[in-house]
Chains A and B, each alone.
Chain A
Amino acid sequence: AQTVTQSQPEMSVQEAETVTLSCTYDTSENNYYLFWYKQPPSRQMILVIRQEAYKQQNATENRFSVNFQKAAKSFSLKISDSQLGDTAMYFCAFMKPDLTGANSKLTFGKGITLSVRP
């Protein structure tokens, strides 16, 4: 079974600065996907970014980028130019696609609470 570990329960960053959220995972699979989801106080789960394990290039989405280290099984999220609206819980998630695509459940870490200070 896959496990996802987010060891930092909370972090704080000054507005406009950069912050990195850590995530490690454990799997014996070679082909998988990794995701970061954001959960603001409304508790809606919002997809932030996705990384395919077969891609060496790190994914980027505007101010969000990842540092994917497959050998180390590490998947950190970097938020540049932090904004007040980035205040939320952030969850790292793992998915192993099966052959049919039907059993592609997400396995989540415990999450990290990020606070952006004005």
Chain B
Amino acid sequence: EPEVTQTPSHQVTQMGQEVILRCVPISNHLYFYWYRQILGQKVEFLVSFYNNEISEKSEIFDDQFSVERPDGSNFTLKIRSTKLEDSAMYFCAARGGKAYEQYFGPGTRLTVT
């Protein structure tokens, strides 16, 4: 199975700064997701994206968050003004049309100082 890739692997930013996390899904995948995992805690759903629009989002995904797939390839998560509590591992996941398995990228560790 081809890999989902994410960049950067680690991002350090100051509180209040904007960050953009990037994901390159597998080419024939249609459904895209962002999850986050605060250190030592469970993985939490943030948002799902299909057909160039958000299909579902969680309570965590407030106005500070946005997603887009600007060039039909990269899938990005933007946090407009980061807070200390945004420090977490952010995972991108993708899946194809018929199968329900979601394949995860290696994650981006975001550290907000």
Where the two chains meet, the residues of A that have a C-beta atom closer than 8 Å to any C-beta of B are: 33, 35, 37, 42-47, 50, 91, 93, 95, 97, 100-111
Residues of chain A contacted by B107 (CB below 8 angstroms) = 43-45
Secondary structure type dominating chain B contacts: strand
Residues of chain A contacted by B106 (CB below 8 angstroms) = 42-44
B43-A91 in contact (CB<8A): yes
The B54-83 residues at the A interface (CB cut-off 8 A) are 55-56, 58
Q: How far is the CA of A50 from the CA of B101 in the complex (A)?
A: 8
B50-A35 in contact (CB<8A): no
Nearest 5 Cβ contacts at the A-B interface: A102-B55, A45-B104, A102-B50, A105-B45, A103-B56
Residues of chain B contacted by A93 (CB below 8 angstroms) = 43
By beta carbon, the residue of chain B nearest A91 is B43
Are A105 and B48 also in contact (CB < 8 A) when A44-B106, A45-B91, A110-B41 are? yes
Residues of chain A contacted by B109 (CB below 8 angstroms) = 43
B56-A102 in contact (CB<8A): yes
Q: How far is the CA of A104 from the CA of B42 in the complex (A)?
A: 18
Determine if B89 is an interface residue (Cβ-Cβ < 8 Å). Answer: yes
Q: How far is the CB of B51 from chain A (nearest CB, A)?
A: 7
By beta carbon, the residue of chain A nearest B44 is A108
